[in-house]
Amino acid sequence: MKSPFTLVLVITLLFTGLPFAFADGHEKTELGYEMTDMNRSWRLIKRQVRTPDKNASTIELVEKAIANAQESKPMKPDLLTDVPEAEKEAFLEGYQKEMDALVKHLGKLKALLEADDNAAASQLIRQIDGHRRDSHKAYKRPDEE
């Protein structure tokens, strides 16, 4: 090590880089980042739907989730690499169809919140969670969260 400055630089790089490498056990894809972002809004949406006073803020979160789902649509699930060549097109079409369905569900959720119908919104949230589980089973690598 030539100078204390170099040593400090190397230590800093080590400590800023390591958490990214080991943070959650798998390398995050572009789609994974979009999903993580959407999940942040989704958890708040589920909490806030019980409080009609927060509907304005909840609607903003739903809008953010819609943007994430729209960004996700042209992306390719990591699992695509394991799909046989002859089935890749159908796999991608299916994925895109389910992402469109999510955008549609979220649009409906936004409308229900705008109408202050929090009971119906809660019910729809449960449906969207079911759709999320099914979509993850079909399109997401099982070793991921």
Q: How many CB atoms lie within 10 A of CB 136?
A: 16
Rounded least distance, CB 91 to ligand HEM, Å? 10
The answer to the question of residue 128 lying near ligand HEM (CB under 6 A) is yes
Q: How far is CA 129 from CA 50, 57, 71, 102, 133, in A?
A: 16, 20, 19, 10, 6
Kindly indicate which of the ranges 4-12, 55-63, 82-90, 137-145 contains the residues binding ligand HEM, using the contact rule CB under 6 A.
137-145
The answer to the question of residue 91 lying near ligand HEM (CB under 6 A) is no
Q: How many CB atoms lie within 10 A of CB 66?
A: 20
The answer to the question of residue 108 lying near ligand HEM (CB under 6 A) is no
- Rounded CA-CA distance 79/77 in Å is 5
Say how far residue 32 (Cα) sits from the centre of its chain.
7
| Residue number, 8 or 23, with CB nearest to ligand HEM | 23
Kindly indicate which of the ranges 5-13, 24-32, 46-54, 116-124 contains the residues binding ligand HEM, using the contact rule CB under 6 A.
24-32
The answer to the question of residue 32 lying near ligand HEM (CB under 6 A) is yes
The answer to the question of residue 39 lying near ligand HEM (CB under 6 A) is yes
Among candidate residues 31, 57, 50, 67, the one with its CA nearest the CA of residue 141: 31
Q: Select from 29, 57, 70, 122 the one that contacts ligand HEM (CB under 6 A).
A: 29
Amino acid in position 17 = G
Length of the chain: 145
Q: Which positions lie near ligand HEM, rule CB under 6 A?
A: 24, 28-29, 31-32, 35-36, 38-39, 42, 77-79, 95, 98-99, 102, 128, 132, 135-136, 139-140, 144-145
